[in-house]
Amino acid sequence: MSTRVLAKRRLVTLALLRRESIGGLYHVLTFEDPDGSAAQPGQFTMVRGAEWGDAPLLPRPMSYLTAGHAPSILIKVIGEGTLRMGRAEPGEPFTLLGPLGEPWRAPTPGRRVVLVAGGVGVAPLVFLARAIVEAGGPKPIAIYGGRSARDLPLDDDLAELTELHTTTEDGSRGARGRVTDILGDLLGPDREVFTCGPDRMMAKVAELCALRDVPCEVSLETPMACGYGVCLGCPVPTHDGAYLYACTQGPCVDARRVDWSRGDHAPKKGAHLPRSQT
Amino acid sequence: MSTRVLAKRRLVTLALLRRESIGGLYHVLTFEDPDGSAAQPGQFTMVRGAEWGDAPLLPRPMSYLTAGHAPSILIKVIGEGTLRMGRAEPGEPFTLLGPLGEPWRAPTPGRRVVLVAGGVGVAPLVFLARAIVEAGGPKPIAIYGGRSARDLPLDDDLAELTELHTTTEDGSRGARGRVTDILGDLLGPDREVFTCGPDRMMAKVAELCALRDVPCEVSLETPMACGYGVCLGCPVPTHDGAYLYACTQGPCVDARRVDWSRGDHAPKKGAHLPRSQT
Amino acid sequence: MTRLGVEIGGLSLKNPVLTASGCFGYGLEYDDFYDVAELGGICTKGLSLHPRAGNPPERICETPAGMLNAIGLANVGVEAFCRDKLPILRERGVTVVANIFASSIADFVAITERLNRETGVAAVELNVSCPNVSEGGIEFGKDARMCGEVTRAVRSVTKLPVWVKMSPEAGNIVAVARACEEAGADAITAINTIRGMSIDVEQNKLRLANRTGGFSGPALRPIALRIVWEIAGAVSIPVIAIGGVSTTRDALEFLLAGATAVQVGTANFADPSAAKRVVDGLRAHCETRNVTVKSLIGSAR
Amino acid sequence: MTRLGVEIGGLSLKNPVLTASGCFGYGLEYDDFYDVAELGGICTKGLSLHPRAGNPPERICETPAGMLNAIGLANVGVEAFCRDKLPILRERGVTVVANIFASSIADFVAITERLNRETGVAAVELNVSCPNVSEGGIEFGKDARMCGEVTRAVRSVTKLPVWVKMSPEAGNIVAVARACEEAGADAITAINTIRGMSIDVEQNKLRLANRTGGFSGPALRPIALRIVWEIAGAVSIPVIAIGGVSTTRDALEFLLAGATAVQVGTANFADPSAAKRVVDGLRAHCETRNVTVKSLIGSAR
Ligand SMILES: Cc1cc2nc3c(=O)[nH]c(=O)nc-3n(C[C@H](O)[C@H](O)[C@H](O)COP(=O)(O)OP(=O)(O)OC[C@H]3O[C@@H](n4cnc5c(N)ncnc54)[C@H](O)[C@@H]3O)c2cc1C
Ligand SMILES: Cc1cc2nc3c(=O)[nH]c(=O)nc-3n(C[C@H](O)[C@H](O)[C@H](O)COP(=O)(O)OP(=O)(O)OC[C@H]3O[C@@H](n4cnc5c(N)ncnc54)[C@H](O)[C@@H]3O)c2cc1C
Ligand SMILES: Cc1cc2nc3c(=O)[nH]c(=O)nc-3n(C[C@H](O)[C@H](O)[C@H](O)COP(=O)(O)O)c2cc1C
Ligand SMILES: Cc1cc2nc3c(=O)[nH]c(=O)nc-3n(C[C@H](O)[C@H](O)[C@H](O)COP(=O)(O)O)c2cc1C
Ligand code: FES
Ligand code: FES
């Protein structure tokens, strides 16, 4: 599966091939790429409607769900950009800048892969699971959690590719609770974890893995302006008091590098800064 | 036909029923209006895509081509707003604020109407011609000019409703030249003119009418922000050195009120102001 | 206490949403749309001592998520306003803030004295910051001392609440606001437009006859928000926010930053009911959360 | 003479398109896209005497047709730049403008002296106007006298062309530009960002950890254009325009207004080849019309 040689980054204008509305706020967008995308699992692309004009201004970072001649992304509608993506019609042109960032590192031979997914974080993990299975690797275990059954997009893909455990906070599917409630039982010395989802989930997963000395790879999510290393808008605090840049040094990194207690990954604090002004 | 009682202005969100591309840069957009629009010929509407977001910001003034339950407009693609209109698909929602402005005044009984159209200025004149014909009035004469045959959208509507004379600068349709080259022959004491088109054309039409003492009604075109009288962005110079506001005192006005030599209707001068700065 | 009500100096507003000067005419064009008395208030088009015809066309042009205007303060003059417009507004129960401007302190005082003779004016808003006329006061607006003087002069001749509208082009806007507070202003309004320019490159000419125009609309909002935050932290009188408000979300952004009320400007052009929509949206927001507008003010600080 | 070439002080640029500081890294991330040597030049991320880690997240957020950034001048420091980045750029024939900033005149001088020892630096651009760090120089940038002093000090220690980058927040930006011209600047760069703010109303918190951030992108363009017009009318050294340039049309707008060159900033984010597209577009524009870029400069004035 994935090698360390990363494909050349390209900015291409691709027509939307199809948009599948898969329930709730989720859609899968598939593009037509005559040249084919050589993205590896864990890499992402900066996506923008070619006809958006001056606003929304910035492209949106989206993990590849699949690559090749029909690259696809899974989106959750949360703001103006994803709203537009969620109502795009086939034929609509989008610019995609990619593949970007560090992919998932190659699974360690001899260790069984445990995927821990939350919400749209499932996309790069489905891509990874498919790559592992296609390469003939051992079927990964997956834990997939959300608030309710509606918040588990692509659960059927994961069910097909992995030994799947689901959790929902309201108990509407799988075990009631969170992924981290059942993760402990699935960790072991012959396992390794790949996780993508909300920060708080990933921080907790990283903590559990660290306690059990299980390797843990996370995919970081931060706002990004450029996605390719020039704006310095995507810092993630590291333990040495410095930052790593999620777009070029991530998004996939060893969980131990991240200082989950600092910065945006810590509880939101912006509003509670001391009140002195100007 | 049209009476002086103007319909209440409404801001409505209407779905695009169909867009007909009628060659060149021209499209006819027809909307679905369950309540029906009571617009009169010469009135306009401020049109904006309901999903445009923050840019383009302002609605675009467009003359009604038809009213009723399927109000329509003729657009020429010239910038970002009309570009978007020109690629809108059925179902796309638009906001329309209208009907706005002063319609054409009622034709004077006993006078034969001469319509002088240039480019998209044809829309409010087709509407007027249809109203006259439907009211059983005498068939209007029309002169319709453009650079070439491609620049005469809706010429067939006009041909059906009026005794049509066309002019093109390249001679590709009708007489070679401009509308004002043949207008003189069609003026007379029993005639009256309604004109809409580029400023320079209307200024010349107004001049010819004034010389022959033929009543002339023009439809003014200026940039507009609000379209309903509050921004004061649409002044047109009048002979008393003051301004009339095109959106509420126009767009249809007696040509004699306008001072064609001042302001935007005069040759562009903005760039040639004296150089003193700040 | 009502859920939406706020106080600005001595003045109670039924809700914190007003319309911005120059973007709402004299409030009389809205009969077809809604009852303007439902708003917290309206600010009139800027009134001068004598009527003004305004600048030649073009007066407006669009820019990314914003627009430029160089209306040149066309207005009917304070006399015609008092005679023709105010009686109708008063009759309808509209809370009317008279936005006024002049090129001398004497004229500011004269306009105020004319307004003193009327009932139905809720406050005067001093436009010391219009960018579009050479004598329009932006020089007042950029200078703390002069701004304070204008405020003091108007303050001394009227019992009406006095609001002063800030120019974002002042080098030290906080100092200007403080000077106005000291001079007796009841509230600070922020912000007026910033001067911008646009060139039609095909025709190689400036888009506005006046060359520059005031920049407004959503694009301006982040700058306005920063300035409102700064001023609200520096003065103890209420701050009324303006700049790119078109949705309830936008209004909340300013309220949370410390504004006591907001004014809706450019948004009226695309939607004449914009301000009414914001009132309704704030009401729904507060009802859902069972909070008052007052409790929201400054809560992000 | 080439069709696209321009001169800025003694420096000849092959075309009038540069990339703006902070929006292009150190010019080394573009191998996959195009040859950066095809540009008129690049301005480096702001360099300080010592490396800086920058501000905590969130550092960026989007606004209507614009964005805010509070990077906090994260950079590798002038030493590492000279050691690790400059040799590669020099090797490739890239025209490199070193954007530098400091909180004291002594540090501005020290950075410049370090750069003096290198070949391959085409000019220094003094960032006296970064809004995102308290010691970052915006106070220099708002004050004509101080700005002149910084310029004079740097001028006196280097033979490199000195460009000074204006803060749009100066109350009297023309006076600042003139002071820099008098102090020996070879060019004025305008503009840096204006401070803005954004609040997430759902979470009731500021979007940026630094509270305020610099406002950039298309939304800023009308303000930048007005300022460039004003400065170009007031100084006789070249003006290099920045602010929302993303298309050929935008670049032309500034050239016609009197700028000798433009810098492309935020537009690089959505399209890494944005600056190259503008070069190609200007070439096509000039070839079609058989004109030179020089002949366009200031032609709308
Ligand atoms: C490496 C990476 C991979 C991602 N993969 C996916 C994916 O596969 N599917 C998916 O639905 N989402 C994914 N996201 C999150 C996605 O980028 C945001 O949901 C999206 O940018 C929101 O845009 P908007 O316009 O709808 O929201 P708005 O709130 O309107 O966005 C405003 C601005 O904030 C930024 N922003 C808002 N939320 C986020 C966020 N959570 N992360 C980063 N930037 C944000 C936007 O990019 C934009 O610049 C990924 C993010 C990163 C960094
Ligand atoms: C009363 C009236 C009726 C009109 N009827 C029609 C019609 O039936 N069909 C049609 O195609 N056009 C009509 N126009 C012109 C039409 O409004 C403009 O072509 C349109 O606004 C251009 O928008 P844009 O975004 O494509 O161009 P841009 O150049 O991108 O527009 C930028 C800004 O300039 C304004 N603007 C640009 N050109 C004009 C113009 N000629 N007149 C007014 N504002 C302009 C736009 O509204 C916008 O605010 C009418 C104008 C008026 C005033
Ligand atoms: C067309 C127009 C005319 C304006 N006229 C005035 C005026 O007469 N007096 C004044 O104080 N402000 C005037 N303004 C400024 C607005 O009141 C407001 O401060 C500014 O537009 C920013 O708010 P907005 O972004 O909501 O429009 C005008 C603005 C516009 C767009
Ligand atoms: C993310 C980011 C970082 C920036 N960093 C710097 C910097 O280090 N030094 C500087 O002088 N300007 C910096 N700027 C300002 C830009 O160089 C430019 O002046 C501004 O963004 C306006 O141009 P634009 O609208 O084309 O982006 C930065 C801008 C952005 C968006
Ligand atoms: S997103 Fe620009 S550096 Fe990471
Ligand atoms: S367009 Fe606003 S007053 Fe006419």
Beta-carbon-side half-sphere exposure of residue D24 (alpha carbons within 13 Å): 31
> How many Å apart are CA C226 and CA C244, to the nearest integer?
13
Query: Helix or strand or coil: residue D181?
Result: helix
The DSSP string of D72-136 is ---B-HHHHIIIIIHHHHHHHT--EEEEE--SSHHHHHHHHHHHHT-SSEEEEEEE--BTTSTTS
Report the nearest atom of ligand 1 relative to the CA of A101: 1
| Distance of alpha carbon D21 from alpha carbon D267, whole angstroms | 12
Q: Any chain D CB within 8 A of the CB of C212?
A: yes
What's the one-letter identity of residue B83? L
φ and ψ of A94, to 5 deg: -125, 150
Structure tokens at A209: 């893995």
Q: Which atom of ligand 1 is nearest to the CA of A247?
A: 1
Tell me the pairing of strands B243-245 and B252-254.
Answer: unpaired
Q: A10 phi and psi, to 5 degrees? A: -135, 150
Give the tens place of pLDDT for each residue, B126-151.
999 999 999 999 999 999 999 999 99
pLDDT band at residue B1 using 50, 70 and 90 as cut-offs: very low
What is the per-residue pLDDT across A204-228, written as a single tens digit (0 to 9) for each? 999 999 999 999 999 999 999 999 9
Torsion of CA C169, C175, C180, C181, to 10 degrees: 140
Q: Take residue C169 and report the two structure tokens written for it.
A: 């082009």
The string of pLDDT tens digits covering residues A148-192 is 999 999 999 999 999 999 999 999 999 999 999 999 999 999 999
Mean pLDDT throughout D39-62? 97
Alpha-carbon gap: C238 to the closest alpha carbon of chain B (Å): 27
Nearest CA in chain B to A83: B51
Q: How far, in Å, CA of D262 to CA of D249, rounded?
A: 12
Record the tokens describing residue B267, joined without a space: 């040759």
Task: Find the CB nearest B55 among D65, D229, D300.
Answer: D65
CB contact under 8 A, C53 and B230: no
- Collect all residues of chain A within an 8 Å Cβ-Cβ radius of residue D204: 271
Report the candidate in A45, A61, A50, A58 with the shortest Cα–Cα distance to residue A92.
Answer: A50
Q: Which residues of D198-211 are buried (b: 16+ CB within 10 A; e: fewer)?
A: bbbbeebbbbbbbb
Does C269 contact B59 at a Cβ distance shorter than 8 Å?
yes
**DSSP-assigned beta bridge partners for residue A165:** A143
Whole-number pLDDT of residue B40: 97
Ligand 5 site, CB within 6 A = A 224-227, 229-234, 245, 247
- Please count the residue pairs, one from chain C and one from chain D, whose beta carbons lie less than 8 angstroms apart: 111
Cα(B17)–Cα(B33) distance, rounded to whole angstroms? 9
A171, A178 contact by CB (below 8 A): no
Give the pLDDT band of residue C215 (cuts 50, 70, 90).
Answer: very high
Hey, which residues of C are catalytic here?
Answer: 130
Residue with tokens 């909307």: B31
Residue closest to B72 by CA, chosen among B101, B41, B50, B102 = B41
Whole-angstrom Cα distance, residue C47 to residue C114? 11
Give the closest residue to A142 by CA, choosing from A91, A101, A182: A182
pLDDT in tens, B34-68: 999 999 999 999 999 999 999 999 999 999 999 99
* Average pLDDT of span C124-146: 75
The token pair at B223 is: 């940039």
Q: Is the pLDDT of residue B204 over 50?
A: yes
Tokens for B136? 């059983």
* Closest ligand 6 atom to Cα of B234: 4
Q: pLDDT class for B82, splitting at 50, 70, 90?
A: very high
Q: Pick the ligand that lies closest to the CA of residue C68.
A: 3
Mean pLDDT for chain C? Answer: 95
Give percent above pLDDT 90 in chain C. Answer: 92
List C-alpha distances in Å: C252 to A96, C236, C260, D25, D213.
Answer: 34, 20, 10, 36, 20
**236-265 in D: which are within 8 Å (CB) of B?**
none
Q: Which of residues 104-133 of C touch B (CB under 8 A)?
A: none
The answer to whether the CB of C28 falls within 8 A of the CB of C83 is: no
**C152 closest CA partner among C120, C128, C134, C117:** C128
Rounded Cα distance between C215 and B59, Å, is 17
Q: What is the pLDDT of residue A265?
A: 38
DSSP 8-state symbol, A140? P
Q: pLDDT at residue D130 above 80? A: no
* pLDDT tens sequence across C217-227: 999 999 999 99
Computed over every residue of chain D, the mean pLDDT equals 95
User: How many angstroms does the Cα of residue C268 sit away from the middle of ligand 3?
Assistant: 11
Counting residues of chain D whose pLDDT is more than 90, the rounded percentage is: 92
DSSP of A145-205 = EESSGGG-TTHHHHHHHSEEEEEETTSSSSEES-HHHHHHHH--TTEEEEEES-HHHHHHH
- How far is C244 from C216, CA to CA, in rounded Å? 7
- Shortest distance, CA B75 to any CA of chain A (angstroms): 19
pLDDT in tens, chain A (278 residues): 445 689 999 999 999 999 999 998 999 999 999 999 999 999 999 999 999 999 999 999 999 999 999 999 999 999 999 999 999 999 999 999 999 999 999 999 999 999 999 999 999 999 999 999 999 999 999 999 999 999 999 999 999 999 999 999 999 999 999 999 999 999 999 999 999 999 999 999 999 999 999 999 999 999 999 999 999 999 999 998 899 999 999 999 999 999 998 755 333 433 333 222 22
pLDDT at residue A4, as a whole number:
67
The rounded distance, in Å, linking the Cα atoms of D99 and B257 is 58
- Kindly tell me if the per-residue pLDDT of B253 is higher than 90: yes
Asked if B203 and B126 touch (Cβ cutoff 8 Å), the reply is no
Per-residue HEC secondary structure of A49-113 comes to ECCCCCCCCCCEEEECCECECCCEEEEECCCHHHHHHCCCCCCCEEEEEEEECECCCCCCCCCEE
Report the pLDDT value the prediction gives residue D33, as an integer from 0 to 100.
97
Ligand 3 site, CB within 6 A: B 231, 233; C 20-23, 45-46, 69, 71, 73, 99, 127, 130, 165, 192-193, 214, 216-217, 220, 242-245, 264-267
Contacts of A261 (CB under 8 A, 6+ apart): none
Phi and psi, residue B168, nearest 5°: -135, 145
Query: CA-to-CA distance for C127 and C114, rounded, in angstroms?
Result: 17
Other CB atoms within 10 A of residue A198 CB: 14
pLDDT at A271: 34
Residue B273 pLDDT > 50: no
CB-based contacts of B156, cutoff 8 Å, min separation 6: none
**CA B183 from centroid of its chain's CA atoms:** 19
- Residue D12, beta-bridge partner list: D7
Contact of C194 with chain D, judged by CB distance below 8 Å, is answered with yes
> Which residues from chain A sit within 8 angstroms of residue B84, using beta carbons?
51
Q: Which ligand is nearest to the CA of D268?
A: 4
Distance CA D244, CA D263 (A): 9
Helices (H), chain B: 80-85, 122-134, 155-161, 179-186, 199-212
Nearest CA to ligand 4 atom 8: D46
Q: Are D218 and D244 in contact (CB under 8 A)?
A: yes
Do residues C243 and C223 lie in contact, with contact meaning Cβ atoms separated by under 8 Å?
A: yes
Q: Give how far C61 is from chain A: nearest CA, Å.
A: 16
What is the distance in angstroms between the Cα of B167 and the nearest Cα belonging to chain C? Answer: 26
Pairing of strands D187-190, D239-242: parallel
Residue among A29, A60, A128, A152 whose CB has most ligand 1 atoms within 8 A, to mutate: A60
Predicted confidence (pLDDT) at residue D135 exceeds the cutoff of 80: no
Find out whether the beta carbon of D188 lies less than 6 Å from any atom of ligand 4.
no
State the average pLDDT for chain B.
92
- Give residue-wise pLDDT tens across range D59-113: 999 999 999 999 999 999 999 999 999 999 999 999 999 999 998 999 999 999 9
User: Stretch B203-232: mean pLDDT, rounded?
Assistant: 97
The whole-angstrom separation of Cα C275 and Cα C41 is 10
Model-level ipTM above the cut of 0.90: yes
D130: annotated active-site residue: yes
Residue in this structure with the two tokens 């009841």, named with its chain if needed: C186
Domain boundaries defined on chain B: 10-100
| Ligand 6 mutation pick, B231, B243, B249, max ligand atoms within 8 A of CB | B231
* Nearest ligand for residue C214 CA: 3
| Gap between the Cα atoms of B37 and A11, Å rounded | 46
Report the pLDDT value the prediction gives residue C171, as an integer from 0 to 100: 87
Domains of chain D by start residue, with CATH: 6-296 (3.20.20.70)
Tokens representing A70 are: 């029909």
Flag whether pLDDT at B278 surpasses 60: no
For β-strands D66-69 and D212-216, DSSP reports them as: antiparallel
For residue C142, the model assigns a pLDDT of 83
Tell me which chain B residues have a C-beta less than 8 angstroms from the C-beta of A84. 51
pLDDT tens sequence across B164-173: 999 999 999 9
Q: Which CATH class is domain B10-100?
A: mainly beta
Statement: residue C72 has pLDDT above 70: yes
- What is the position in ligand 3's atom list of the atom closest to the CA of C60? 1
Instruction: Give C243's Cβ-side CA count (13 Å radius).
Output: 34
